[in-house]
Structure 1
Amino acid sequence: MASIELDKVSKVYANGAYAVREIDLTIEDGEFMIFLGPSGCGKSTTLRMIAGLESISAGDLRIGGRSVTNVAPRDRNIAVVFQSYALYPHMSVRQNMAFGLKMRGVSSSVIEGKITEAAALLGLSSYLDRKPAALSGGQRQRVALGRAIVREPEAFLLDEPLSNLDAQLRAEMRLELVKLHRRLGRTIIHVTHDQVEAMTMGDRIVIMRDGRVMQVGKPLEVYANPADTFVARFLATPPMNLVPARLEGAADGALSVARDGLALAVPDRHRAPYAGAAGKPVIFGLRPEDIHDTQHNPAWQPIELTVVAVEALGVENILIGQLGTSQPIEIAARLSRHFTAPVGSRVTLYVDALPMHLFDPETTKALPRPPLLAAA
């Protein structure tokens, strides 16, 4: 049993600065949890407190229901895999994987059996006698994972383990880690600043900012229903378009989002929850993929933009367009790979307003509306 519970856990430095502030979080046994956030948000510090490598200033940490707040790292039965791999360069792969077990006095026969099993699992069987310098970055990362696996810990803590890899290796290792989790069935906490890793790997994600937890949930649920503008913009590339506007109301109850260059009717589904904000300033949020170059649905509403740039990515084109003239603002649209338009030209695109969001300009919090992706 390796559920991990953080009960108002904080980390305060000697100068009074908070690295982590009152985190309440439960990670279920066998769950793959992603800690996501920008540099300095406290995600690695939180991981290190769980590992026992950082002291906890306040609150309680429980692993498997047992308080380990003041328990030494070696007695927590968890394994940490670092960004730097932390392999011994003078030792072979076999020796690196065996080192921790030898220090615990495990017999040679048991160690060899564990190494053989882990190496087969990770595709390292033919590399056991090589030194780390003779391995690729992805192979070194597998060795670091293998060294953790042979210990048979209750949980794995991964601190940005893929950030040193090139794009292709990173994509391959993402898939390998997901497969590994399914085979082992152990609790994994994976720290990253990469949104793709968060969306594709985790059962749930924890989005952090300035030492606080901003939102917790399944990746697609958080993506579809961000709690505030920070989450809305952080969880995608290109990020959600956030446009300062005003919510206008009509006598018949209809609502529209209006500003220079923008006049969009609010879908009927959102009228009731948004009615209280009528006549007030709002921040209008719309994902780039909800703007289209062809009106496939008659409910999609036209919008005119001045082309600033078109980024051709092969599978799609990203349009950066200027909305309005007196108060221009740039927005992004994910369009088909066949879309082309010269810089400076005016184009008409079509907005699917159903996935729209409205945020309070003062608090930056999302105004409540029915979620588009129901919780499972």
Structure 2
Amino acid sequence: MTAITLDTISREYGSGIFGVRDVSLAIEEGEFMVLLGPSGCGKSTTLRMIAGLEEITAGRISIGARDVTELPPRERNVAVVFQSYALYPHMSVRENMRFGMKMRGTPLAEQDARIKAASEILGLVPYLDRKPGALSGGQRQRVALGRAMVREPDVFLMDEPLSNLDAKLRGEMRQELVKLHRRLGKTMVFVTHDHVEAMTMGDRICIMRDGHIEQVGAPLDVYANPANTFVAQFLASPAMNLVPARLAATGNMLSIDAGPVSGVLPVAQSALYARAVAEPVMLGLRAEDVLTEPTPDTLPVTGRVVMREALGAENLIGIEVGGVTLSARTGRHFLPAFGDEVTLHADMAAMHLFNAASGAAYPRKA
């Protein structure tokens, strides 16, 4: 197993335009690290810099104990799986997997042994003599993975490898990749813009924006404690509700005025956010924290339904109050009609608070 260290790496294209700027990240041995962010945030550029496919204009990269900053891709012992499968259409699955080893002069018996082992792990044995055109998208992606595996790399780098698959296949391949990671124990870096892939696959996720890192952490930790409004909204669907707000002291308690969400905060939140009194802030509430039934920590919100999505196991609805729309994730039996007036209940024990100017989160723990 091999760790990866990025030490203030940058990729400048000239005239002060950066794809990645001053990125530092330590990826642990055997870790499944997900680089997550919108298009153009620098995640694929970062991956390509690790692979040696993109020039590093500042900083250093280490893979294991080796500084690989100046090494060509072939000397880094990494395998890259791209969004496009990049299989040779005139070759069989077996020959596609064999090609790289053949070019490197790997003995034939060892080639066969590696192909056999990889194809058994990936369920490709029945397809070894087929050509890519006779395979499904998921099978082609497994061939691309197998071709990477037979190289026996120190590190696997994957650049949005599931984005060409349909929803069902994506779900299946997510599970297959997690199983593969556990079986091989190799360090893997996975690039995606899909928050579901990040949440379900990564040991840790690294969220990027505009060439910078916004937050790194275990998926559920980042979801529960987003560092800022960008992370809070990007790592969820629907995005976190954000409403301009102000806090005021009411005796030993705090009250909040956030337009449709107003009232006295629970004891714990009153103590936690006392320093934000009179500052312009943003109230954050995830859709699952806007409830259909009241609790001791909720504040009522009444509005008209302007959005509804019936998803089977659950429903998503949006209510509009004074020009503000709040999203709620409700049970499958709660689905009001468009235009209905409904009262929902904001769970203030689950609230997030952000500085309105910087977007930075106020800590949720004392």
Which TM-score applies when normalising by structure 1?
0.95
1:308 aligns with 2:306: yes
Match of 1:351 among 346, 355, 362: 346
- Mapped to 2, the partners of 1:68 and 1:247 lie a distance apart of 51
- Superposition deviation, residue 310 in structure 1: 1.6
AA matched with 1:139: Q
Query: Which whole-Å deviations, capped at 9, do the CAs of 1:213-269 have from their partners, x for residues lacking one?
Result: 00000000000000000000000100100001111221x221122133221432222
* C-alpha contact (below 8 Å) 1:302/1:349 kept by paired residues: yes
Which whole-Å deviations, capped at 9, do the CAs of 1:97-121 have from their partners, x for residues lacking one?
0011011101111100100110000
Equivalent residue letter for 2:165? L
Contact 1:248 1:280 in 2 (8 A): no
- 1:196 and 2:196 aligned: yes
Distance 2:75 2:24 in 1: 23
Match in the other structure for 2:363: 368
Match of 1:256 in 2: 255
Structure 2: which amino acid aligns with 1:332?
Answer: S
RMSD over aligned Cα, in angstroms?
Answer: 1.1
Answering whether residue 138 of structure 2 is matched by residue 143 of structure 1, we say no
Deviations 1:135-161 (A, max 9, x none): 000000000000000111001000000
Structure 2 residues without counterparts, runs of 5 or longer: none
**Other structure's SS at 2:56 match:** coil
User: 2:310·2:335 contact (CA, 8 Å) conserved in 1?
Assistant: no
Q: Equivalent residues in 2 for 1:16-165 (5 A)?
A: 16-165=16-165
- Of all paired residues, the percent bearing the same amino acid is 59
The C-alpha deviation readout for 1:303-361, integer Å capped at 9, x for no partner, is 212211221111111111112x3xx2111000011012222221111222112111111
Report the count of equivalent residues: 366
Residue 273 of structure 1: CA displacement?
3.1
Report how far residue 368 of structure 1 moved: 2.1
Whole-angstrom CA distance in 2 between matches of 1:5 and 1:221: 22
Partner Cα separation in structure 2 for residue 256 and residue 306 of structure 1: 25
SS at match of 1:13: strand
**Residue 348 of structure 1: SS of its match in structure 2?**
strand
Q: What is the one-letter code of the residue matched to 1:312?
A: A
Tell me the distance in 1 between the aligned counterparts of 2:296 and 2:282: 25
In the TM superposition, what whole-angstrom CA distance separates every residue of 1:157-186 from its partner, at most 9, and x where no partner exists?
000000000000000000000000000000
Deviation of 1:291 (Å): 1.1
The answer as to whether partners of 2:20 and 2:212 remain within 8 angstroms in 1 is: yes
